[in-house]
Amino acid sequence: ETGVTQTPRHLVMGMTNKKSLKCEQHLGHNAMYWYKQSAKKPLELMFVYSLEERVENNSVPSRFSPECPNSSHLFLHLHTLQPEDSALYLCASSLSSGTRDTGELFFGEGSRLTVL
């Protein structure tokens, strides 16, 4: 139990489907992140929410749409994805100022996405 829970753990979808990934943290943090992890590539930061405001969008295609309704929940809405979007999507949380002082993010175990 990492304190950060992601669902579903595995998802297979067609290119015309619409699905959502969910992340929930029980650590009292106020910053949440989406990372993409593909084989042979570094973890890529996609979105950052701090105090429920989106503070970073790293040139992510519009077919990925994040939502942060409160400091404990984060969603990633997916639509008209491409096969190259198949990857492990990791959610993480931290105290927004704590990352500077501790360099520590708390990750969930990820949602393995396969786009057919």
Partner 1 sequence: GQSLEQPSEVTAVEGAIVQINCTYQTSGFYGLSWYQQHDGGAPTFLSYNALDGLEETGRFSSFLSRSDSYGYLLLQELQMKDSASYFCAVNQAYSGAGSYQLTFGKGTKLSVIP
Residues that bind partner 1 (CB under 8 A): 2, 4, 31, 33, 35, 40-43, 45, 48, 50-51, 53, 55-56, 90, 96-97, 99-110
Burial string for 24-33 (b: 16+ CB within 10 Å, else e) reads bbeeebbbbb
Residue closer to partner 1, measured from CB, 41 or 70: 41
Q: Which is nearer to partner 1, 64 or 110 (CB)?
A: 110
> Is the separation of the CB atoms in 60 and 46 below 8 Å?
yes
Min separation Cβ 98 and partner 1, Å: 9
Residue 32: closest CA among 23, 42, 44: 23
CB nearer to partner 1: give 61 or 109: 109
- For partner 1, the closer of residues 16 and 53 by Cβ is 53
Phi-psi region of 3 (alpha: psi -120 to 50; beta: other; left: phi over 0): left
Nearest-approach distance from CB 101 to partner 1, in angstroms: 8
